[in-house]
Structure 1
Amino acid sequence: MTDLDQVSLDEIDTSKPHPARMYDFYLQGKDYYEADEIAGQKVLEVFPTIKITARVNRSFMHRFTRHLATDKGIRQFLDIGTGIPTRPNLHQVAQEAAPEARVVYADYDPVVLRHAEALMRSTPEGRTTYIQADVREPESIMAAAELHETIDLKQPVALSLNALLHFVPDENKPYEIVRYLLDQLAPGSYLAISHCTADFAPEMWAGVAEVYHRGGIPLQLRSRDEVAAFFDGLDLVEPGVVTPHNWHPDGVTVPGTSDDSVSMYAAVARKP
């Protein structure tokens, strides 16, 4: 076990890997357990650039948050599938651009709950809060008192589903979930998604999927067309559905970045 602050082992199954903690391992964090590290090492054996994927995805989140706050005037953010906090977090990026920004985080992992204090350190002008909830039950997220106390759903909201939907297989109706969430948001809201794909390296990603499945973690990789379908009816922000390092690049490149090494799609779109 690594250094986790005030986590009750009764609440966490440390014998099985968890995607949020594996992601923390890829980002060279400190909040994962032995089972997560073992599974992460197995992923590295079949897909050696997975740490590049994680870093590039994190950078995409920073850029789209900054873009929406700075260039689109968005002041409200709903981040579902938050994961273990890694600075800078979404609210820090948003509030650096707009100190009055308000951010709601949602995740179902009790480890994230134990770190929620770090997610709620807002600027004096803004506000952040955390909801423990599962994206597969979107009604519980949108009905949460914490959400309604923090953001005004009559005003535009940026909905972030960053590296989340590949953990929601078709049997859980991910397209219906996304549509439901968007239906609760005002016109002028935005949707940001990043999603793993096997389009660039199918054999290696078959190996990754096997590791996750053996750990009891659902993983459904989707093609570019399948990722684009999440944005049906929305106005895509240029350049559309692309690999995340090609979405509004800022000149800061993660060494080793290529379409094959990253193997993700990302996009941002506006609700008319």
Structure 2
Amino acid sequence: MQREELGDLLAFISVASERNFTRAAAKLGVSQSALSQAMRRLETRHGIRLLTRSTRSVSPTEAGEALLETLGPAFDAISDGLSALGNLRDRPAGNFRITAGQHAIETVLWPKLSAVLHEYPDIRVEFSSDNSLTDIVADRFDAGVRLGEQVAKDMIAVRIGPSLRMLVVGAPSYFAGRAAPTTPQDLTNHVCLNIRLPTYGGLYAWEFERDGREMRVRVDGQFTFNSSNQVLTAALDGYGLAFVMEDMVRDHLDSGKLVQVLDDWCAPFAGYHLYYPSRRQPSSGFSLIVEALRHRA
């Protein structure tokens, strides 16, 4: 294999994975025209089309998918080998990509890593904010963050945060002239603020538990959001009841801007876990990140 073809294959992996020439070019640090030329060379050299291009997107053909499945593990092995060399350095180093929800980034990842990584300038971390259940292997992330019960069994999981709790809250103005709900079923008679999460494939059904009894309630209301911050804003403005993380509303509860209901139905649950493939050979830089994030009660 010629050196030029190796570079063209790496370019193909990036384009096929990102499904976008602009993002792939930015990731590789090359121009889009150089990337297009690499794809033309590769397809011409082997006499087969590897990518289907449109004005808005790019996707691998059947041959391209087959090539990607073959090349992905091979280049991952090369990347792991190069990362292992970092263990021989005096200081931990490396580039690491982590996918997590916005709440996990703001409350766990950033507070913990920002307190440590200023001492290790050779460690670079890319955060990707995403509430979906990302396939970190297919999307070439080094690690992801999920709630404990959502981590796949074939992954190594490290607890990085305390137990969490969701609360049902509303503004005093919302409760004016309304009776507060006393059971989760009562929520069907209230105006609630829905949230659409890709993790659940649609509108999130509010989850409750008391004395070992679990219950899910599908609520209805005027507004639906895809961000908890937007839900909180609407709740503060009196547009309905919200179901949000306790740490997001604690100050508002203490100040009286929000009122909590159904407290005895809001049980704690497993907090955030960092997860990564069990086959991965952690470098010193990745191990440092894991230990910095590890939850210590």
Q: TM-score with structure 1 length normalisation?
A: 0.25
Larger Rg: 1 or 2?
Answer: 2
Q: TM-score with structure 2 length normalisation?
A: 0.24
